[in-house]
């Protein structure tokens, strides 16, 4: 018997939520075959089986949060495992069980049951053999079928993505009612959202007209002894309840973990943000000149983010304090410069890590950013790709924000925010006015480990590299 444990998913992660079992007890499983899904504040991923055999026992149910290294299941030898269909091979016992346990049903003790039990129609077997049959009926009726789980539409609609399954579980959606518009009729996230919107429209519609009874739903006075014949008019509709003006739904597991992590960071570090304006004109012209060739050579577009990442990596060599962490009363300096890039998802945020970012040029950094962002949005990141970061960058400018005050990603001590690059009038060469491409860089740092003067010097270093860019980007 082999124990299956909750794996360690990151340096600062002590627990995880088991969101879904991909195998059922009694089913065979191969080594490294996906066995269950887990969710943390950093990543949602599938966990492979540590060995081949049969899933003999499940110790943790879906939705439960457990500590790392906790045993969640056991895998046994396939040779000694009982067949899955064995529990269903005893119809007489299964039939007799409900007749003893159910009170109002016809069976042993039915004559002594409550009065309402006598109104039920007698079962054919009881009518033939009496109230207390000594022998079972020659042909007992088949046992009632066990309730089948709610269909999720996976057979009819093709394979479902983990995100669609998760939405179906969280919002109790019967996927067999959802029309798939993806390839081969596959249900997509947009299909689920459209179905939820249609259900919400029905929920918020005017309530049905109450059915009038002989006394009416709102009796004011006793009815006359000889009512006038004719159809009775229904009362006016009741106003919408106040509860219909709001909608309540549970936070996703990722959203809960992000909330816990952000609150913990604000409680741990003394956050201070300094903002610097950077002239990106030289990089903007270089990017405009090279973007067609870059696209043709690499297969993806060139953005401003790899330039900022390269400048930050170079500045971190000069200001090691921002590539450090705090351990009690000690400062831990990291030799490797591993920069985390924040990636926005449909249901949250994730920060995959570019390892040894200072050893990559602009093209290499852009390639790494595109690869990590693409795999993050398709839930294909590996656990070690979201841990080990020593510094983080968040590009809120991609959504048009000029600048913001980002929160430090613990256990790091600083995070750099990049605002949108905009063409604005600016003073150049003394008193001249010109149109320049400018952006704001916002550095949030931990005031416990350093001060504002050092933070401003770091930002000036990044600013100088960007404004005087001369490296070849191809």
Task: Convert the pLDDT of each residue in 232-277 to its tens digit.
Answer: 666 666 555 555 688 898 888 888 888 999 999 999 999 999 999 9
Contact 285, 473 (CB under 8 A): no
Q: Which two tokens stand for residue 53?
A: 């055999």
Contact residues for 225 (Cβ-Cβ < 8 A; gap 6+) = none
48 forms beta bridges with 34
Instruction: Give the three-class secondary structure for 283.
Output: helix
Handedness of CA 162, 167, 172, 176 (dihedral sign): negative
For tokens 């985390």, the residue is: 340
Of 380, 389, 428, 382, which is closest to residue 408 (Cα–Cα)? 389
Q: What is the mean pLDDT of residues 74-97?
A: 54
> Using CA atoms, how far apart are residues 31 and 376, in angstroms rounded to an integer?
25
Per the model's pLDDT, the better-predicted residue between 143 and 62 turns out to be 62
> Using CA atoms, how far apart are residues 322 and 415, in angstroms rounded to an integer?
9
Q: pLDDT over 70 for what percent of the chain? A: 70
Contact 340, 387 (CB under 8 A): no
pLDDT band at 171 (very low <50, low <70, confident <90, very high): confident
| pLDDT at site 88 | 44
* Catalytic annotation present for 447: yes
Per the model's pLDDT, the better-predicted residue between 5 and 236 turns out to be 5
Return the CATH superfamily for domain 154-199: E3-binding domain (4.10.320.10)
Of 455, 7, 444, 16, which is closest to residue 256 (Cα–Cα)? 16
Contact 387, 42 (CB under 8 A): yes
| pLDDT at site 240 | 54
* Catalytic annotation present for 191: no
| pLDDT at site 275 | 97
Which position among 174, 336, 384, 451 bears the catalytic label? Answer: 451
Q: What is the mean pLDDT of residues 346-353?
A: 88
CATH code, 2-79? 2.40.50.100
| pLDDT at site 106 | 37
Render the burial of 322-346: b for 16+ CB within 10 Å, e for the rest. bbbbbeeeeeeebeebbbbbbbeee
pTM as predicted: 0.58
Which position among 44, 346, 447, 456 bears the catalytic label? Answer: 447
The most confident of 10-14, 184-188, 370-374, by mean pLDDT: 370-374
Q: Is the pLDDT of residue 325 over 60?
A: yes
| pLDDT at site 255 | 86
- Domain coordinates in residue numbering, the chain: 2-79, 154-199, 270-467
- CATH number (3.30.420.40, 3.30.559.10, 3.40.50.620, 3.90.1170.50) of 270-467 reads 3.30.559.10
> Using CA atoms, how far apart are residues 12 and 9, in angstroms rounded to an integer?
9
């Amino acid at each position: 018997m082999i124990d299956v444990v909750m794996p360690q998913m990151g340096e600062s992660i002590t627990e995880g939520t088991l969101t879904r079992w991909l195998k059922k007890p009694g089913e065979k499983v191969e080594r490294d075959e996906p066995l269950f899904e887990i969710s943390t504040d950093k990543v949602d991923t599938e966990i492979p089986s540590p060995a081949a055999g049969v899933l003999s026992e499940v110790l943790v149910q879906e939705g439960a949060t457990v500590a790392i290294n906790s045993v969640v299941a056991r895998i046994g030898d396939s040779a000694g495992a009982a067949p899955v269909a064995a529990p269903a091979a005893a119809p007489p016992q299964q039939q007799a069980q409900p007749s003893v346990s159910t009170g109002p049903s016809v069976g042993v003790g039915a004559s002594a049951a409550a009065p309402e039990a006598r109104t039920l129609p007698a079962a054919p077997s009881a009518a033939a053999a009496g109230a207390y049959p000594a022998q079972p009926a020659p042909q007992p009726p088949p046992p009632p079928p066990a309730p089948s789980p709610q269909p999720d539409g996976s057979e009819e609609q093709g394979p479902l993505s983990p995100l669609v399954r998760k939405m179906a579980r969280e919002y109790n959606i019967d996927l067999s009612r959802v029309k798939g518009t993806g390839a081969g009729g596959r249900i997509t996230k947009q299909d689920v959202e459209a179905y939820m919107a249609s259900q919400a429209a029905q929920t918020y519609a005017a309530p049905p007209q109450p059915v009038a009874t002989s006394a009416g739903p709102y009796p004011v006075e006793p009815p006359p002894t000889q009512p006038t014949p004719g159809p009775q008019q229904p009362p006016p509709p009741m106003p919408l309840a106040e509860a219909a003006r709001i909608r309540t739904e549970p936070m996703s597991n990722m959203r809960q973990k992000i909330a816990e992590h952000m609150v913990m960071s604000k409680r741990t570090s003394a956050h201070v943000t300094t903002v610097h304006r950077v002239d990106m004109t030289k990089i903007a012209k270089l990017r405009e000149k090279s973007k067609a060739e870059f696209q043709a050579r690499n297969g993806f577009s060139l953005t401003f983010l790899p330039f900022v990442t390269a400048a930050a990596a170079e500045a971190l060599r000069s200001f090691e304090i921002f590539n450090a962490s705090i351990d009690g009363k000690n400062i831990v300096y990291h030799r490797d410069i591993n920069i985390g890039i924040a990636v926005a998802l449909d249901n949250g945020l994730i920060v995959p890590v570019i390892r040894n970012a200072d050893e990559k040029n602009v093209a290499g950094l852009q390639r790494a950013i595109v690869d990590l962002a693409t795999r993050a949005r398709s839930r294909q990141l590996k656990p070690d790709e979201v841990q080990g970061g020593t510094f983080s960058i968040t590009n809120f400018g991609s959504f048009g924000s000029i600048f913001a005050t980002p929160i430090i990603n613990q256990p790091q001590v600083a995070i750099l925010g990049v605002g949108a690059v905009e063409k604005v009038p600016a003073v150049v060469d003394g008193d001249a006015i010109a149109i320049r491409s400018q952006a704001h860089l916002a550095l949030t740092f931990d005031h416990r480990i350093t001060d504002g003067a050092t933070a401003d010097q770091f930002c000036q270093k990044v600013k100088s590299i960007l404004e005087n860019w001369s490296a070849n980007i191809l």
